[in-house]
Amino acid sequence: MELTKKYRIVYHGVNMLFPLEPFDSGITYVQKGMEGADFDTLDEAENFVQEKGLIYSLE
């Protein structure tokens, strides 16, 4: 799966692999066993994170 929009979320279970920040360009590839979603706006991305109960932790 390729993610190309400004806001990209890659997650496994409820854990996000990186914080919700805008991407300026390029492609993010989602590895097998992971899930992903991409959005044009921060509001859409934040709603998705809340609906799925996703978290990002440095630990």
**Average pLDDT along the chain, 59 residues, taken 10 residues at a time:** 95 94 90 95 96 89
Secondary structure E strands in 1-59: 2-3, 7-12, 15-16, 28-29, 35-39
Question: Which pLDDT value is given to residue 38?
Answer: 96
Closest CA to 2 of 29, 40, 34: 29
Question: Which pLDDT value is given to residue 59?
Answer: 67
d(Cα 35, Cα 13) in Å, to the nearest integer? 8
